[in-house]
Chain A
Amino acid sequence: MSDAIKVYPDKPKKVYFYATCLVDIFYPDAGMAGIQLLEREGIEVVFPKNQTCCGQPAYSSGFNDQAREVILPQLSLFPEDYPVVVPSGSCAGMMRKHYPELFAGTPQQSQAQALAKRTWELTDFLLQVCKIQLQDQGEPIKVAMHTSCSARREMGIAEVGPKLLSQLGQVELVEQARSAECCGFGGTFAVRHEEISGAMVQDKAEALQAAGAEHFVTTDCGCLMNIAGYADKQKMPMKGQHILSFLWERLQTEGKTPENAGGRS
């Protein structure tokens, strides 16, 4: 839980960017948006080439050995003392809260602890460390936000997304019923207990829709894949997006998507 008090660093010149596997494979626009938002803040983004997955899928399934095997070579990807920013509440939570547990009593213990301390969820970092100011360029829109359970409870950043969205003049944030309730993703839970997961995502998608949102944004790609996947299958008109993609899009004057805006200016 979010018991430990967070001490935010001063705004740095450089950060390490840990993309997470879901962003890398399924939602690269969210990663690119995150990188560009950081660069917009004058921060140099270092992307360690040899990153893969934070190890969470195996860890939350109880396969700690395999999780450690995947994490071990990645512990040394961040040699300088820059903050490590992650566009996901649950992967950031994995690194911040669970790496120290996993490596307790091993030779990597202090390395894991040090990494945990300087790992930040990216929207939290943009708001609290960069003190980002957003100027909305988009059309009026009603948006609902689903904060992932890890972002809310493990990282304690439930207020971050709404605060960022409130900077956008044309965006109306609508609140869905039972907004703090889980969407039913839970990693391998969604396939191990497919029926419960299905019932949960149905309720979540319907609550978002009932709130009158044309669009919903999330902090985590797991929730996004789950809720948007359900909405798509049920042919609901509502579309979902990672909050970083959404924020970046709202800053663009010509409606450029983050993907095609990347590096070509």
Chain B
Amino acid sequence: MTSAQEAVQEFHPRVHAALENTQIRTNFRRAMDGLMGKRLAAFDGMDLEGLRDLGAAVRLRALSRLPELLEQLESNLQKQGIQVHWAETGDQACEIITKICKARDAKKIIKGKSMVSEEMELNHHLEEAGIEALESDLGEYIVQLAKETPSHIIMPAIHKNTDEISELMHEKTGTQRSKDVDYLTASARQQLREKFMQADVGVSGVNFAVAETGTLCLVENEGNGRLTTTAPACHIAVTGIEKVVEKLEDVTPLLSLLTRSATGQHITTYFNMISSPRKAGEKDGPEEVHLVLVDSGRSSIYQDEELLDTLRCIRCGACMNHCPVYTRVGGHAYGTTYPGPIGKILMPHLLGLEKTQDLPSASTLCGACGEVCPVKIPIPKLLQRLRKEAVDGDSLRPSVVQGHGIKRRKLEVLAWKGWSLIHARPGLYRLATSVLSRVRSLLPSKLGGWTRYRSAPKPAAKTLQQQLRERQKLAVAANKGGQA
């Protein structure tokens, strides 16, 4: 277990630290408010529900044929000269990439943004193998300078404001301190441009892998993806096995949904479609292209009809932008590669519930995530499912997720058994609630976490059921009186 994985268990202390940090809370609130507004504006005048239905259908269709589509993708890519590798675990994927680099005697790697590479801690592995990997996405570049991890899947450095970034760049690269975002960006670009030219290998992610045509689609805004995949002599794309779609026309609705949901853009500045290495007579492009397909727990999600929906995700980040919990605590509090709602439903499969045991419960089930998800993943329903798995709470439907039952604590089980004992017996319930009403003034004014922020709730002097019984008696008496 790496240090990053161990840290996942420390959810509560991380939350505490994040909530205490007013700078973080302000940065996230401001950024998320902006993103929510942009998304809404980007879908203005469009049939959003219709498009979401289409997006969901496209993803479901792809997932329903996942094994054969992956084979089709492999065979088409191979025909076009792209080498395909399969990795069961993140570690295996890292080894494959390290091997390719070593075979080329590569010392310097330039990277485009890839969350899968974050998930398998590729940079760490490469560093151990003596290979330098430099992030070229501006956000990732900042995060790497700060020796941090991304706090958002689309905007990795969203937890930092301009002043913090200026200070960091000044300290690490000698850039002049500035409040001018354009100046800071230009400075980073200048430094990166050289690195692109020196890099032996470019590593990128993949947004959509089209099976029918053997096309790797890459969505980006900074041109760093284009450079990463074309400037170095070798390009290695790495992605999860779920990213495959059936045909090219499936990309259209997904791309519309992705950019609008993520950043409120109608389209990104760059959209790369990679289908082969440099062909004879072509002036640019890598001479060697690889695709590494990573499983890392995904095929176990695939086995379960309900959990399968997790794999629909196109990684837009809208669920975190709209999540009231994420907005308060920020991405790092989760301690997982993917934070926010998607992280809560995905990470338990990648790491096991043992290491993610506090994530499924860290939601009010408010449903904001499910409401904005471009491919209609029923996130609250999946959170509910994982809560059940964490406590082995359903004897009719046995748990299947790795680490299930980890949160089944004797005391809590006892409490729910006591609760059901009373509430399944109406006579007992009436007795208990009327006693509660009678002793209302004697009830404690401190109720743990509740009264840290709020007054203790006070039962009414008479329960509704008591009041209705009295009302009934009066009505009967009045009736009798009338008849006499």
Known: A27-B460, A57-B419. A1 touches B378 (CB 8 A): yes
| With contact pairs A23-B464, A49-B426, A52-B429 given, residues A149 and B453 touching in the complex (Cβ less than 8 Å) | no
A25 contacts the other chain (CB 8 A):
yes
A210 at the interface (CB under 8 A from B): no
User: Taking the complex as formed, is B81 at the interface, i.e. its CB lies under 8 A from any CB of chain A?
Assistant: no
In the assembled complex, which residues on chain B have CB atoms less than 8 Å from the CB atom of A187? 364
The answer to whether A186 has its CB under 8 Å from any CB of chain B is yes
A60-B324 in contact given A53-B423, A202-B453, A233-B455 (Cβ < 8 Å):
no
Cα–Cα, bound, A233→B363 (Å): 24
Q: Chain A interface: which of B60-68, B166-174, B444-452?
A: B444-452
A192 at the interface (CB under 8 A from B): yes
- The answer to whether A61 touches B367, judged by C-beta atoms less than 8 angstroms apart, is no
Contact yes or no, A194 B454, CB < 8 A: no
Size of the B side of the interface (Cβ < 8 Å), in residues, is 71
Does B475 contact A263, Cβ atoms closer than 8 Å? yes
The prevalent SS among residues of A at the interface is helix
Chain A 225-261 residues near chain B, CB threshold 8 A: 225-226, 229-230, 232-233, 259
Also in contact, A184 and B394, with CB within 8 A (given A194-B448, A264-B474):
no
A200 at interface, CB cutoff 8 A = yes
Question: How far is it, in angstroms, between the C-alpha of A230 and the C-alpha of B457 when the chains are bound?
Answer: 10
Q: Which residues of A contact B253 (CB under 8 A)?
A: none
Contacts of A193 in B (CB 8 A): 15, 325, 361-362
CB distance from B11 to the nearest CB of A (A): 9
* B454/A66 in contact, CB under 8 A: no
> Within the complex, what minimum Cβ distance (angstroms) separates A15 from chain B?
15
Binary B-proximity of A5-41 (CB < 8 A = 1, otherwise 0):
0000000000000010101111111011001000000
A180 vs B369: C-alpha distance in the bound complex, in angstroms?
12
Contact (Cβ within 8 A) A153 B371:
yes
Partner of B463, one of A1, A28, A65, A192: A28
Rounded to whole angstroms, the CA-CA distance of A72 and B423 in the bound complex is 11
B103 interfacial by beta-carbon distance below 8 Å: no
- C-alpha gap A31/B433 in the complex (Å): 15
In the complex, which residues of chain A have a beta carbon less than 8 angstroms from the beta carbon of B223? none
The answer to whether A263 and B455 touch across the interface, beta carbons within 8 angstroms, is no
Do the beta carbons of B450 and A184 come within 8 Å of each other? no
Asked whether A63 and B391 contact (CB < 8 A) given A25-B436, A73-B424, the answer is yes
Are A66 and B419 closer than 8 Å at their CB atoms?
yes
In the bound complex, residues from chain A placing their C-beta under 8 Å from that of B464 are 19, 23-24, 28, 31-32
Indicate if the CB atoms of B471 and A262 lie closer than 8 Å. yes
A49–B407 CA distance with the chains assembled, in angstroms: 36
Q: Is B465 an interface residue (CB 8 A)?
A: yes
* Nearest CB in chain B: distance from A24 CB, A: 5
Given A52-B426, A60-B365, A181-B324, A233-B463 contact (CB < 8 Å)? no
A105 at the interface (CB under 8 A from B): yes
The listed residue (A32, A73, A186) touching B365 by CB distance below 8 A is A186
Confirm or deny: B74 has a beta carbon within 8 angstroms of a beta carbon on chain A. no
Q: Are A24 and B463 in contact (CB under 8 A)?
A: yes
A137 within 8 A of B: no
Out of B394, B426, B448, name the residue touching A64 (CB < 8 Å). B394
Cβ of B397: which chain A residues have Cβ within 8 Å of it?
A: 64
Chain B residue at smallest Cβ distance from A53: B423
Which residues of chain B come closer than 8 Å to A67, judged between CB atoms? 420
Contacts of A35 in B (CB 8 A): 468
Say whether A62 contacts B474, CB under 8 Å: no
Please pick, from A53, A191, A232, the residue contacting B450 in the complex, using a CB distance under 8 A. Answer: A191
A259 in contact with B368 given A70-B423, A184-B324, A200-B324 (CB within 8 Å)? no
**Bound form: Cα–Cα A262–B471 in Å:** 7
In the assembled complex, the CB of B449 is this many whole angstroms from the nearest CB of chain A, namely 3
Kindly supply a per-residue 1/0 record for chain B positions 395-422, scoring 1 wherever the CB is within 8 Å of any chain A CB and 0 otherwise. Answer: 1110000000001000011001101101
Chain A residues, Cβ within 8 Å of B328: 196, 199-200
Q: How near does chain B come to A3, taking the closest CB pair, in angstroms?
A: 9
> Do residues A19 and B420 form an inter-chain contact, with CB atoms below 8 A?
no
* A196-B325 contact given A27-B460, A28-B463, A66-B420, CB 8 Å threshold: yes
CB pair A149 B367 closer than 8 Å: yes
Q: Cβ of A43 < 8 Å from any Cβ of B?
A: no
Task: Name the distance in Å between B435's Cβ and chain A's nearest Cβ.
Answer: 11
0 or 1 for each of A212-233: is its CB under 8 Å from B? (1 = yes): 0000000000000110011011
Measured CA separation A51–B464 after assembly (Å): 12
**In the complex the two chains form, what is the Cα distance from A58 to B468 in whole Å?**
27
Let me know if B368 and A153 touch, CB within 8 A.
yes
Measured CB to CB, the closest approach of chain B to A235, in angstroms, equals 10
Given known A193-B15, A263-B471, contact A201–B454 (CB-CB < 8 A): yes
- Indicate whether B458 reaches chain A with its CB closer than 8 angstroms: yes
Query: B366 at the A/B interface (Cβ < 8 Å)?
Result: yes
Query: Which of B378, B388, B460 is close to A28, meaning CB atoms less than 8 Å apart?
Result: B460
- Are B363 and A189 in contact, with the CB atoms below 8 A? yes
Contacts of B412 in A (CB 8 A): 61
Contacts of A195 in B (CB 8 A): 12, 15-16, 19, 449
A182 beta carbon closer than 8 Å to chain B: yes
Contacts of A190 in B (CB 8 A): 449-450
| B364–A189 touching, CB < 8 Å | yes
Interface membership of A124, Cβ < 8 A = no
* A26 B453 Cβ-Cβ under 8 A: no
A159 to chain B, nearest CB (A): 15
Counting from the closest, the 10 A-B pairs by CB-CB distance are A194-B449, A186-B364, A229-B454, A62-B387, A263-B471, A182-B366, A28-B464, A50-B426, A153-B367, A198-B453
Interface residues of A (CB under 8 A from B): 1, 19, 21, 23-29, 31-32, 35, 47, 49-53, 55, 57-70, 72-73, 105-106, 149-150, 152-154, 178, 180-182, 184-202, 225-226, 229-230, 232-233, 259, 262-264
A-B contacts, 23 of them at CB < 8 A, read: A1-B371, A25-B437, A25-B463, A26-B460, A51-B426, A59-B384, A62-B390, A63-B393, A64-B393, A66-B393, A67-B420, A105-B396, A153-B366, A154-B367, A182-B324, A185-B364, A194-B448, A196-B15, A196-B362, A197-B364, A199-B328, A226-B454, A262-B471
Further contacts, 8 of them, CB under 8 A, given A57-B419, A61-B393, A195-B12? A19-B464, A52-B422, A63-B393, A181-B368, A196-B362, A199-B328, A201-B453, A229-B454
